[in-house]
Chain A
């Protein structure tokens, strides 16, 4: 996922210094805090199934540093990082969607290519769900078939808490989203052959 297109501004030395000052009083402490922020940001993007998490973390830090350098008063820095990260995430997804649309426009469709983007997405989802192991498929189906009380019973039957079940199902959903993205990328490339199902990544 190319990231440079929307990054005309580069982190300058003074802006970086200002960010460090904001992160901590002493330089060493500020450097440690910087690493914590960067790690949290990378985690933010990884949890959302973004492959270039570290690059987006850096982009987020750059933007925050720029705003601070421009004199913006930021009272709650963590919440500010969180908000900027959400914005960066949205923009990266839009870039990705634009790139897929452009690739589709110039691609030579294979004989079995679905007519619309929506149909392509459903076909990819079918491949991705099919590539899950049977237990994961059953877990997803059981979870989404039931109402919350059924889910609590499902969690009990698995010997885990309801919250753990929710998180487990969410991670499966993110695996499917990553698989979907790779499948759509494969489809939108110029090819005469039907795309293969990409291997499922485990989170």
Chain B
């Protein structure tokens, strides 16, 4: 984090309460006289809050942030604002990214779709009826967890890549997840009680290291919270998924934890 703010180190030190009284007064003298510096301080404040929310502050910085920076009611309000704003910005940008796909990409996708459909028709004719497995999108359930399944790519679209679905209920216990080599992502569906408007999720390796994180994810009403974790982050081993809800009206935020036992299947040579 300190490295990230190299040009504004002094400002970060000021915000985190690391300055001596003399240094603080000298900086505030400058801040009052130099509007560009004052604006840079405000921008740096936003970045610091973002870094806190993204979990990229060091342990010491995080501790300072919570004890010194958040001692100011104004800073607490700014944190609350950024916490609400960032997911909104992310959601607003997502459709635009999809819209910006180039036309040739769509054309190529259409060609692939036709090829896949043709191949499926041929295969069905060759093997007879009933050999194809139809997998519908798993419906969310409020009950305890239950299953994992691999959803092959839809025959009508080349995307998304093969996804393994894991559904987690409130008392899931240890969830066993087998990942085929072709699986590109693990779609984790977490039954949440909708007591929070959004959730942060962290995937921890067995040694407690955070290896993946998602923030500000919201679940639609009566739907589970959906997390798409790239399969590449998993090796065979034990993982903890921590899902933390944002608190409403100063309530204690709900925290859910799940244990995942992942087995990565070895790639097999394809028969000719």
Contacts and interface: CB of A to CB of B under 8 A. Distances in A.
B46 A86 contact: no
Nearest to B28: A79
A10 interface: no
Given A137-B89, A138-B96, A78 B44 contact: no
Main secondary structure of the interface of A (DSSP, over half): helix
Interface of A: 40, 43-44, 47-48, 76, 78-79, 81-83, 85-86, 89-90, 93-94, 116, 118-119, 121-122, 125-126, 129-130, 134, 137-138, 140-142, 144-145, 147-148, 162-163, 166-167, 169-170, 173-174, 176-177, 180
B86 interface: yes
A166 B92 contact: no
A144 B44 contact: no
A43 B35 contact: yes
Interface of B: 3-5, 7, 25-26, 28-29, 31-33, 35, 38-40, 42-44, 46-47, 50, 54, 56, 73-74, 77, 81, 84-86, 88-93, 96, 197, 248-249
**Which 9 residue pairs across A and B have the least CB separation, nearest first?**
A141-B93, A170-B43, A79-B28, A148-B4, A78-B32, A82-B32, A166-B43, A78-B29, A82-B28
B39 A167 contact: yes
A141 B249 contact: no
Contacts of A145: 90, 93
B28 A140 contact: no
Given A79-B28, A145-B93, 10 more contacts: A44-B32, A79-B32, A82-B32, A83-B28, A90-B74, A94-B73, A138-B93, A140-B89, A148-B3, A148-B5
A100 to B, nearest CB: 13
Nearest to B196: A118
Nearest to A46: B35
Contacts of A170: 39, 42-43, 46
Given A118-B197, A130-B92, A141-B93, A48 B28 contact: no
A89 B38 CA distance: 15
Contacts of A167: 39-40, 43
Contact of B92 (A48, A82, A118, A129): A129
Contacts of A122: 84, 88, 197
Contacts of B32: 40, 44, 78-79, 81-82, 85
Contact of A141 (B7, B31, B74, B89): B89
Q: Which of B7, B28, B90 has the largest count of A CB atoms less than 10 A from its CB?
A: B28
A166 B32 CA distance: 20
13 contacts: A40-B32, A43-B38, A78-B29, A89-B74, A119-B197, A125-B85, A134-B96, A138-B93, A141-B89, A141-B92, A145-B90, A170-B39, A170-B42
